[in-house]
Amino acid sequence: MIEFEFGLDTPAYVTVDESGRQLAGDVVIRNTVEEAVLADSVGIDSFNISEHYRPDFMDSAGHVILAAIAGRTERIRLGTAVTVLSTQDPVRVYAEFATLDAVSNGRAQLVVGRGSLTESFPLFGFDLTDYETLFEEKLDLLTRLLRDQPVTWSGTVRSPLTDQYVSPPLPEGHLPTWVGVGGSPRSVVRAARYGLPLMLAVIAGHPNRFVPFVELYRRSLEAFEDPPLPIGMHSLGFVAKTDEEAMDVQWPYWAEMMEDSARERGWARPTMDKFRAEITGGSLYVGSPETVATKLAAAVRLLGLSRFDLAYALGRVPHEQRMATIELYGREVIPRVRELLATG
């Protein structure tokens, strides 16, 4: 059993080579497999792929990539940074990840959420006005499939099930499933109501903004008479040999991604001052192994975390530099955080 899980998250960014030329999607997917194989070899606990349907991400079939990774690794957990359950069929999600659990010898896991981007709704024919109902009902069905088959279930978003078995069967305790939350107290309470661990997406601002969410989650578990459950956090970061190198590598790609988000969502445009502020006092884990480890250990203590996933190398960072940050995270950051936590 892993006492504290240190993971990596990625949407399989369409990256560039060292000359700045954009790579083809199939190359990106194969590179993602290689990054996961390296993560396994340097002692990282999990590798998790998100779900988007955009030309700059190659993660629309993460379960297939994870299955390829399973065949080349031995111990690393394999999961999703988020599965957009609202626009997925819970029966299909169960079948895919129970199968991944089998082929990986019990290493599959899930984070399910509503997703911060909504391109999957029109793509699969769902109405955004049903945003809340879709996730609520599908989470209800998925938890039943995970816990108590055969399942009898009915709702408004898909056909009912009557005494239905879905294969393959899961051994007890397999396929741990977390609820991803970005900023909704209602989602925090829902995770507690279903008795599922909580994964906080903390991508900007100081982690202390999420202390009330942690307190709400723990109070809600008590109210539902559930035992304490793990809490995790997902944040952006990049590790290099020195603080200066890490900032120099990550800055242009961070700025590019934030500029796109500013245009799409109406956010303020990125600046170097904002970048530095997120590193020094926010939720951007960019720096040397010692800098990142010290900041990470403080966040773990603050929120009482059981898991941290580094969403590594934001944007089109070349594969070689992505591999370098994975190696430093596994060989230097994680052992140092464990040491800091052990010594208090």
Query: From the first residue on, what is the mean pLDDT of each consecutive set of 10 residues in the chain (344 residues)?
Result: 84 95 98 98 98 96 98 98 97 98 98 89 93 96 97 97 97 97 93 98 94 98 97 98 98 94 81 96 97 98 98 98 98 98 87
Which pLDDT score, from 0 to 100, does residue 1 have? 38
Q: Which of 114, 122, 268 is nearest to 204 (CA)?
A: 268
Quote the pTM value.
0.96
At residue 73, the pLDDT reads 98
Strand 110-113, strand 46-49: pairing: unpaired
22-31 long-range contacts, CB within 8 A, separation 24+: 22/316, 23/319, 25/58, 28/58, 29/58, 29/65, 31/319, 31/322
Give the per-residue pLDDT at 111.
98
CA pair distance 268, 272, nearest whole angstrom: 13
Give the angle 147-152-154 at the CA atoms, nearest 5°.
Answer: 115
The reported pLDDT for the residue numbered 98 is 98
